[in-house]
């Protein structure tokens, strides 16, 4: 068996690797998941309220996300954390807490 690669083989394999690199890079350009859990700038009392109201970044209750709550203040830029009139600190639109109140329809 001849293990030598022909020039054609090298060019074809290089093209395949190039395409793989392009598609791989595209997959890496997905926006990072939103994380709104940094409470390092909050006063201890605000952290306590956040904890007492059981704020979570991802709601476990169907149809009850911060984005649908009257207290939610959306972020000025998409893909960033919003705020809340009740819970201090960064708020994920997909989050939830015990003070959820649905927006009027
Ligand atoms: Fe989210 Fe709770 Fe604030 Fe409503 S009150 S926006 S559910 S953190």
3-state secondary structure of 97: coil
* Cα-trace Rg, the chain: 24
> What pLDDT score was predicted for residue 95?
97
| Residue 34 in contact with ligand 1 by CB distance below 6 A | no
| Residue 96 in contact with ligand 1 by CB distance below 6 A | yes
pTM above 0.85, yes or no: no
Using the mean position of ligand 1's atoms as its centre, give its distance from the Cα of residue 103 in Å. Answer: 11
Ligand 1 atom, smallest distance to 73 CA: 6
Ligand 1 atom, smallest distance to 70 CA: 4
Question: Please, which pLDDT band fits residue 9 given cuts at 50, 70 and 90?
Answer: low
Structure-token match 């030598």, residue found: 4
User: Distances in Å between the alpha carbon of 44 and those of 35, 40, 47?
Assistant: 20, 9, 5
> What pLDDT score was predicted for residue 25?
45
> What pLDDT score was predicted for residue 28?
52
Which letter, b or e, does each residue of 56-81 get, where b requires 16 or more Cβ atoms within 10 Å of its Cβ?
A: bbebeeeebbbbbbebbeebeeeeeb
> What pLDDT score was predicted for residue 32?
78
């Amino acid at each position: 068996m001849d293990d030598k690669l022909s020039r054609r083989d090298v060019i074809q394999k290089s093209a395949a690797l190039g395409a793989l690199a392009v598609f791989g890079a595209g997959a890496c350009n997905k926006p990072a998941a939103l994380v709104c859990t940094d409470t390092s700038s909050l006063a201890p009392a605000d952290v306590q309220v956040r904890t007492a109201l059981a704020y979570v970044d991802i709601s476990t209750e169907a149809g009850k996300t911060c984005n649908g709550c009257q207290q939610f203040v959306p972020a000025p830029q998409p893909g960033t954390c919003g705020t809340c009139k009740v819970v201090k600190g960064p708020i994920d639109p997909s989050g939830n807490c015990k003070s959820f109140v649905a927006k009027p329809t």
